[in-house]
Amino acid sequence: MFQTLYSYFWWERLWLPANLTWADLEDRDGRIYAKASDLYVTIPLAFLFLIVRHLFETYVATPLAALLNVKEKIRLKATPNAVLEKFYATTKHPKQAEVEMLSKKSGCTVRQVERWFRRRRNQDRPSLLKKFREASWRFTFYLIAFIAGMAVIVDVSGAPPPCARGGPLGACILPSQYWYYMIELSFYWSLLFSIASDVKRKDFKEQIIPHVATIILISFSWFANYVRAGTLIMALHDSSDYLLESAKMFNYAGWRNTCNNIFIVFAAVFIVTRLVILPFWIMHCTVVYPLDLYPAFFGYYFFNFMMGVLQLLHIFWAYLIIRMAQKFITGKVVEDERSDREETDNSEEEEEVAKNGPLSNGHPVLNNNHRKTD
């Protein structure tokens, strides 16, 4: 049964045009072709990336955060309460009727229950240092990957014509392309493995979809020997990603002007590369050019369908970027539209202080330092 599924999965008509077989892509005459088995190495490399990331965040990003004076907000902790904690495990945002019910069960006032849930939610939100460390790691990888991608493109452009030809009809693999593919795919596997522990934003589902789509696109382009197109697409994405991560780093460090200036550059690069170059040049080549070389097949439709999914996500992200740019132009504070804002109860606490004195975790603190009066 396993052999049957294996043969169906690797059926040549799924992956290759009608006039090409797997035998045509065997290594010969010093020309090396992409093989599916090459990608097995990306899984252990992905776990190696996780180790390198941990070391980088501990010994590079954390000292850098201290150097840039990344300051944490002081968060008041919610007082231990078994009743509220049990309910919090199921629902983090109770409705008004549930708040009143919990008030009776816990012996707290409605306001104290509301405050408890605000503080408990804030406790679960990622710290500023965690966000900075994550952005630093991605910035470092994307910058190095972009430089490497440019070097690989130059290397490919200088290759002999048989190796430079695109599509599954004969493009052979250069050593630089091999390592570029393996490292990029390993990195995206590591992002998928760590997504549960990384900073979660409002577009959490949209975070997963591009990782999965990217892994499928990179893997399929390797299987079907669309390596040249894949190299261009990966380098194109890296060209703007490192700018966004650097803008985040400066934002977390409180360097708002630097952040805004980098964001403007990022927005321009993003729109030009992903809404102009990608659809009108690269996707045009993957949709139109192959039909001059061979008839359409399943892999052709599948590859371009996944490219379409990524392009729709680019449009969605461009919408968020334009919204942020509008806020910047109008003088409003520019924030990540996908991030949850810190909840505060300062106004309520000030009201409680005025009535009952200072509060500690929602309860009055006795102040015995009375000023002597005559």
Asked whether residue 314 is domain-assigned, the answer is yes
Summarize pLDDT for 51-79 with one digit per residue, the tens.
999 999 999 999 999 999 887 777 777 78
Q: What pLDDT score was predicted for residue 371?
A: 38
Q: Are 192 and 215 in contact (CB under 8 A)?
A: yes
pLDDT: is 79 or 182 the higher one? 182
The candidate with the shortest Cα–Cα distance to 207, out of 336, 302, 327, is 336
187 pLDDT band, cuts 50/70/90, is very high
Beta-bridged to residue 364, according to DSSP, are: 359
Q: Distances from the Cα of 199 to the Cαs of 119, 128, 320, 371, in angstroms?
A: 18, 10, 18, 48
What CATH number is attached to the domain comprising 95?
1.10.10.60
**Distance (Å, rounded) from C-alpha 120 to C-alpha 84?**
10
Q: Is the pLDDT reported for residue 308 higher than 70?
A: yes
Nearest partner of 38 among 25, 56, 57, judged by Cα: 25
pLDDT bucket at 158, cuts 50 / 70 / 90:
low
Q: Is 282 in contact with 236 (CB distance < 8 Å)?
A: yes
Residues 37, 116, single domain; the answer is no
Domain shared by 283 and 159, yes or no: yes
For 130, the token pair is 């965690």
Average pLDDT over residues 37-61: 94
**Residue 42: exposed, middle, or buried by beta-carbon count in 10 A (0-12, 13-18, 19+)?**
buried
Query: Which of 357, 353, 361, 355 is CA-nearest to residue 370?
Result: 357
- pLDDT 10s digits, 198-255: 766 555 565 677 778 788 889 888 877 788 888 888 999 999 999 999 999 999 998 8
| Start-to-end CA span in the chain (Å) | 96
Report how far residue 305's alpha carbon sits from residue 190's, in angstroms, rounded to the nearest whole number. Answer: 24
Q: Domain count of the chain?
A: 2
Cα separation, 84 vs 142, whole angstroms = 43
pLDDT given at position 54: 94
Closest CA relative to residue 130, chosen from 238, 48, 54, 244: 54
pLDDT of 335 = 52
Residue 94 lies in a domain: yes
User: Once rounded to an integer, what is the mean pLDDT over residues 295-301?
Assistant: 83
Is residue 150, in this structure, part of any structural domain at all? yes
Residue 160 has pLDDT above 70, yes or no: no
* 249 Cβ contact list (under 8 Å, min separation 6): 68, 132, 135, 136, 139
Long-range contacts, stretch 63-71, CB < 8 angstroms, 24+ apart: 64/136, 65/129, 65/132, 65/133, 65/136, 65/252, 65/253, 68/132, 68/249, 68/253, 68/255, 69/253, 69/254, 70/128, 70/129, 70/132, 70/252, 70/253, 70/254, 71/128, 71/254
3-state secondary structure 148-162: HHHHHHHHHHCCCHH
Residue 287: which pLDDT band, with cuts at 50, 70 and 90? confident
Q: Is the pLDDT of residue 366 over 50?
A: no
Which residues touch 284 (CB under 8 Å, ≥6 apart)? none
d(CA 25, CA 11): 14
Average pLDDT, the chain: 79
| Domain span including residue 98 | 82-124
Q: What is the pLDDT of residue 362?
A: 40
Is the pLDDT assigned to residue 365 strictly greater than 70?
A: no
Whether residue 360 is predicted with pLDDT greater than 80 in this model: the reply is: no
* Cα R_g (the chain), whole angstroms: 27
What does the pLDDT read at residue 12? 73
Using the predicted structure, report yes or no on whether residue 331 has a pLDDT greater than 50. Answer: yes
Tokens 């949209």 label which residue? 206
What mean pLDDT do residues 5-20 have?
73
d(CA 184, CA 46): 10
Look at the chain and count its residues: 374
Q: Are residues 89 and 237 in the same domain?
A: no
Q: In whole angstroms, what is the distance from residue 229 CA to residue 241 CA?
A: 19
74, 116, 333 from 342: Cα distances, Å: 11, 14, 15
Q: Domain check: are 90 and 64 in the same one?
A: no
Of 70-79, 110-119, 323-332, which has the strongest mean pLDDT? Answer: 110-119
Q: In this structure, are 113 and 210 located in the same domain? A: no
Domain assignment of residue 194, yes or no: yes
Q: What is the pLDDT of residue 110?
A: 85
**Same domain flag for 184 and 316:** yes
**Residues 132 and 264 grouped into a single domain:** yes
Task: Classify residue 370: in a domain, yes or no.
Answer: no
pLDDT of residue 202: 54
Question: pLDDT-based confidence at 348, cuts 50/70/90?
Answer: very low
Same domain, 184 and 265: yes
Q: Indicate if 324 and 246 belong to the same structural domain.
A: yes
